[in-house]
Amino acid sequence: MREKFLSFSLPFVGQEEIDEVVEALRSGWLTSGPRTRQFEQEFRQYTGSPGALALNSCTAGLHVALKVLNIGPGDEVITTPITFAASVNVIEHVGATPVLADVEPDTLNIDPVQVEKAITPATRAIIAVHYAGHPVELNAIRNIASQHRLHLIEDAAHAVGAEFHGEPIGCGDNFTAFSFYATKNLTTGEGGMLTGNQELLDRARIVSLHGMNREAWSRYAAGGKWAYDIVEPGFKYNMTDIQAALGLQQLRRFSWMQERRAQIVQQYNQAFQSAAFITPVTRDSVRNAHHLYVLRIREGELSIDRNQFIDEMTARNIGTSVHFIPIHMHSFYKNKYGYTPNSFPVAHGAFQQMLSLPLSPSMSDQDVCDVIEAVLDIRSKFARRRMAA
């Protein structure tokens, strides 16, 4: 057994990131400034997106997107129950009503068939979450949005580096929000990016910084003018140059980090091909960003449940997590909308089986071996005995 606890998701930060942050500190630009703009430009080029706006979180990106699209009271927005609460909270923040649609049994992404069933005359938008790094079935979702004249917003918090039919997630005109939280594939500690049509992003930039009609940082640059105007009540959602410094160096090593994630996933998949487990899928039409490795325990195969499995992993000094407690099981949403656990049976069933294993380019080969050994040891210890036919 390991002597040192293996954290579920440690970021990979090297000397290059440290040096870039130090340079940012010495430059005098601590908040949004030239590095933030440079990060926007390089991220736009990486994703092939029409435009990019750096923000302080993916949540901010989703909130700003809804605000710019004028979604509010009386409107409904369809999204998934298998996501972090932020994807749904922002719908509440703008006064609209979240409508949940169950997920596909294999990818655990929102099911286009269920989306179609959830549409009403009040539906204005779909927030499609690329769960665990596997893109949603975008062609079907786009067709539904087009046929019903709905806005499509992509929650790509897990999907930096993912592709759908060879196209990077975020390359389209619709709003797509990315996360650079500490556990994400590319991190700025806290932070996010909103991509999409440049005209929409121009308004999003205003909304994201107090509703000012110009970028605040340009007022203090050489030759900058002090005057500004508040054209609408906005938010304080900007990224800082310190965060952007991290992001610039992370982006430059990103291909290697993704390759390392894929190597670990391949080792996990080979090790866990067993009647006891359901391993994550990757469809032929996509490039999976491999943000999470969500292992599911098949019902009836072990004498312990998911929670006990996690306890056993912890006892072996291996950190795990669960992604996610479905939205309809949280007290606010359960009480407000009258949900029961079986309101979304696929999501609920998957939740009872799932745990997320450590997955990070910071993991050594020995770390990966330790995780595999722990999982297989628990399987061996708690496998149900089968009677001969």
CA 251 to CA 241: how far, in whole Å? 15
Q: Coil, helix or strand for 162?
A: coil
Q: In what order do the strands lie in the sheet with 76-79?
A: 52-55, 192-195, 176-179, 151-156, 123-129, 76-79, 97-100
Closest of 350, 300, 329, 295 to residue 109, by C-alpha: 350
Q: Establish whether 184 is a catalytic residue.
A: yes
**Cα-based distances in Å from 262 to 46, 165, 249, 313, 314:** 19, 18, 20, 22, 24
Name the pairing type of β-strands 76-79 and 151-156: unpaired
Of 67, 184, 334, 336, catalytic:
184
Are 315 and 304 within 8 A, CB to CB?
no
CA 141 to CA 149: how far, in whole Å? 12
Are 85 and 207 within 8 A, CB to CB?
no
Count of residues in the chain: 389
Sequence-distant (6+) residues with CB within 8 A of 351 are 82, 322, 324, 325, 326, 329
CA 67 to CA 80: how far, in whole Å? 20
Biggest CA–CA distance in the chain, Å, is: 85
Q: Coil, helix or strand for 22?
A: helix
What tokens appear for 209 in the block? Answer: 């910084």
What tokens appear for 181 in the block? Answer: 């939280």
Sequence-distant (6+) residues with CB within 8 A of 305 are 297, 352
The residues annotated with a catalytic role in the active site are: 184
